[in-house]
């Protein structure tokens, strides 16, 4: 899916991947990462996910990165706190309470903007990307995360060929992420419409010397 296709989806409201409630896997499994209040969380390809508000409500400053300006406009418009706007590192930035949003291409996010990130949350980033882009995503995510940082990943598998959401099976998750992360499957079960949803816990390995 091209940049233009993604932006067009938001403009046309074709965002069936967006959930109108917090994903149930977040409160069920987030505690397994054993983070502390105040630990900052990266949410790649965040859209206008309500999961970011859940994370902030549980004491985590959030850094969301999203290509669509419309998604971020809708997110902050739904909030009650004041919003500050500026630019940082080539991104348009919005700040609302404990949530910082960068509008731009995740692949241009540099490590200095993530220097204090302790964890990441990926509900709809990896499965939003076509096969040719997923390896690049996994590598870039690893470059942004410090050793011992942790993450929660949610994936879907299905029989269809299209997306998003794209089908990412268990073997591919391990192939993509195991070189740089310890990967553990927490839960896998059927979801709606013939989908199988899986929840993964990850921990960034120390780079080899």
Is 123 marked within a binding site?
A: yes
The helix (run of H) or strand (run of E) holding residue 132 is helix 131-144
Burial of 180 (0-12, 13-18, 19+ CB in 10 A): buried
- Decide if 181 contacts 151 (C-beta within 8 A): yes
φ, ψ at 69 (rounded to 5°): -65, -30
Query: Per the annotation, does 172 bind a ligand?
Result: no
- Please indicate if the annotation marks 54 as binding a ligand: no
Does the annotation list 200 as a binding residue? no
Give me the phi and psi of 29, to 5 degrees please.
Answer: -120, -15
Beta strands, E only, 117-149: 117-122
Q: Please tell me the distance from the alpha carbon of residue 155 to that of residue 199, in angstroms, as a whole number.
A: 7
Annotated binding site for S-adenosyl-L-methionine: 10, 45, 66, 123
Q: Residue ranges for the binding site?
A: 10, 45, 66, 123
């Amino acid at each position: 899916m091209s940049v233009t296709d993604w932006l067009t989806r938001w403009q046309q409201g074709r965002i069936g991947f967006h959930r109108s409630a917090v994903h149930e896997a977040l409160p069920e499994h987030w505690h397994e990462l054993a983070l502390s209040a105040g630990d900052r969380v990266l949410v790649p390809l965040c859209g206008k996910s309500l999961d970011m508000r859940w994370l902030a409500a549980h004491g985590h400053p959030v850094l969301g990165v999203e290509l669509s300006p419309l998604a971020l406009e809708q997110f902050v418009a739904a909030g009650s706190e004041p919003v500050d706007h500026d630019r940082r590192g080539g991104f348009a930035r919005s700040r609302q309470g404990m949530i910082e949003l960068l509008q731009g291409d995740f692949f241009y996010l540099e490590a200095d903007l993530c220097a204090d990130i302790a964890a990441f949350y990926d509900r709809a980033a990896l499965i939003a990307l076509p096969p040719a882009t997923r390896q690049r995503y996994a590598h870039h995510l690893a470059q942004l995360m410090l050793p011992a940082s942790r993450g929660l990943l949610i994936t879907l598998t299905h029989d269809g060929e299209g997306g998003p959401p794209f089908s990412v099976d268990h073997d591919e998750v391990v192939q993509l992420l195991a070189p740089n992360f310890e990967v553990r499957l927490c839960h896998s079960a059927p979801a709606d419409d013939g989908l199988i949803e899986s929840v993964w816990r990850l921990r960034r390995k120390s780079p080899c010397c």
